[in-house]
Amino acid sequence: MSERLILLTNDDGLWAPGLAALARAASRFGRVVTVAPDRNRSAISSALSLHNILRLNQVGPERFACDGTPVDCVLLGICEVLKRQPDWVLSGINHGFNLGEDVFYSGTVGAAFEGRLQGARAAAFSIHPQGSLEEAEPWIQSFLERWEAMELPENRIWNVNLPKGIPQGFKLTTQDSRAYHDLVERRTDPRSTPYYWIGGDAGPTYAKAPGSDAEAVFSGHASVTPLRLDLGCPETLARQADFDATFGA
């Protein structure tokens, strides 16, 4: 078998320490090429630049900075840098968890989904904001040693979250749900005009449902959540009679 081709990206930017840790972990599994945003593009989801040009600058051996989004990086990485489909697309290690509905906002997860759409095996990696990348690295290595043995169907990725401290093991998890508080903060600028700050300081409250990603990381485990791009609801599709009674002629 020829050497694996591994495309790396993130949403925290090319110079983020988490990306360097992921590159070290990935480098023992094949040829690693990094194409990442030239600045922090967190919470940009799967955004694609359709209305502005993109620049790509090589900043080192197999390292490229792009002024677009994480998804732009995956597309330029594949179409322009590698010129073929990579075996793996790895995204992260994000500074901060991507648990519950965070996956909809996350550029880290968006890039992994794009990698999968482009035909690669793909995973997103995130860590507790005070987590140690040094401690996380061997766990990511260990994940990458094993994940090819567990094939996922099309349009599925792995979303991996690492706890604070050394994990007690891997846990297969569901996506939890979470609530943010005081999400929009209104402030006033020095000219007395209001401005708004999204995110607040409080941080989210997770439901920590049994078997969920949040429960796993807050009990000290590495959470491994399979995610799907198809957001369809089989339980509602099974209610054809209800639908006909409601919406039928």
Cα-Cα end-to-end distance for the chain:
59
Looking at 34, 42, 161, 173, which residue binds Mn ion (CB under 5 A)?
Answer: 42
Distance in Å, CB of 238 to Mn ion, minimum: 37
CB atoms within 10 A of CB 208: 18
Distance in Å, CB of 108 to Mn ion, minimum: 6
CB 209 within 8 A of CB 177: yes
Looking at 6, 7, 9, 11, which residue binds Mn ion (CB under 5 A)?
Answer: 11
Residues 61-75 as b or e (16 or more Cβ within 10 Å = b):
eebbbbbbbbbbbbb
Helix-strand-coil percent breakdown of the chain, rounded to 5?
Answer: 30, 30, 40
Find, among 214, 186, 219, the residue nearest to 200 by Cα.
186
Residue with tokens 């095996």: 121
Q: Which stretch binds Mn ion (CB under 5 A): 41-49, 80-88, 137-145, 240-248?
A: 41-49
Q: Is 223 a binder of Mn ion (CB under 5 A)?
A: no
Distance in Å, CB of 135 to Mn ion, minimum: 19
Longest dimension (CA), the chain: 65
Q: Which stretch binds Mn ion (CB under 5 A): 5-13, 31-39, 70-78, 233-241?
A: 5-13
Distance in Å, CB of 10 to Mn ion, minimum: 7
Complex with Mn ion: residue 11 or 38, whichever CB lies closer: 11
Q: Is 161 a binder of Mn ion (CB under 5 A)?
A: no
Complex with Mn ion: residue 96 or 163, whichever CB lies closer: 96
Q: Is 102 a binder of Mn ion (CB under 5 A)?
A: no
Distance in Å, CB of 68 to Mn ion, minimum: 15
Q: Is 72 a binder of Mn ion (CB under 5 A)?
A: no
Looking at 8, 9, 12, 212, which residue binds Mn ion (CB under 5 A)?
Answer: 12
Calpha distance 1→18 (Å, rounded): 29
Complex with Mn ion: residue 110 or 163, whichever CB lies closer: 110
> Distances in Å between the alpha carbon of 180 and those of 110, 187, 230?
21, 18, 25
Residues found near Mn ion in the complex (CB under 5 A): 11-12, 42, 94
